[in-house]
Amino acid sequence: MSLTTDGVVPESAAASTATPVIAVRGITKHFGSVQALRGVDLDVHQGEVVGLIGDNGAGKSTLVNILSGALQPNAGTILLDGKPVTLSSSLEARNLGIETVYQDLSLAPDLTVWENVFLGREQTVKGPLRLFGWLDRRAMILGAKADLDRTHVRIGSVKALAGRLSGGQRQAIAVGRAVAWGSRVLLMDEPTAALGVEQQETVGQLVRSVSSQGVPVLLITHNLPQVHKLADRVAVLFHGHVVADLRCSEVTVDDMVSWITGAALGAQPHAG
Residues that bind other proteins (CB under 8 A): 90-91, 94, 100, 102, 104-112, 115, 119-122, 124, 132-135, 137, 154-157, 159-161, 163-166, 169
The helix (run of H) or strand (run of E) holding residue 247 is strand 241-247
The helix (run of H) or strand (run of E) holding residue 84 is strand 83-85
Nearer of residues 122 and 229 to other proteins, judged by Cβ: 122
What is the maximal distance between C-alpha atoms in the chain? 70
CB atoms within 10 A of CB 181: 15
Nearer of residues 163 and 196 to other proteins, judged by Cβ: 163
Q: Is the backbone of residue 172 left (phi > 0), alpha (psi -120 to 50) or beta?
A: alpha
Smallest separation (angstroms) from other proteins to the CB of 119: 5
Sign of torsion over alpha carbons 184, 190, 193, 198: positive
Smallest separation (angstroms) from other proteins to the CB of 251: 34
Smallest separation (angstroms) from other proteins to the CB of 92: 10
Q: For residues 109 and 126, what is the distance between their CA atoms, to the nearest angstrom?
A: 29
Nearer of residues 43 and 99 to other proteins, judged by Cβ: 99
Q: Name the phi and psi angles at 269, rounded to 5.
A: -60, -25
Smallest separation (angstroms) from other proteins to the CB of 131: 10
Nearer of residues 112 and 211 to other proteins, judged by Cβ: 112
Nearer of residues 169 and 192 to other proteins, judged by Cβ: 169
Angle between helices 137-149 and 167-180 (to 10 degrees): 110
Smallest separation (angstroms) from other proteins to the CB of 161: 6
Nearer of residues 31 and 134 to other proteins, judged by Cβ: 134
Measured distance between the N- and C-terminal CA atoms of the chain, rounded to whole angstroms:
19
Smallest separation (angstroms) from other proteins to the CB of 146: 18
The one-letter code for the residue type at 50 is V
Q: For residues 29 and 47, what is the distance between their CA atoms, to the nearest angstrom?
A: 28
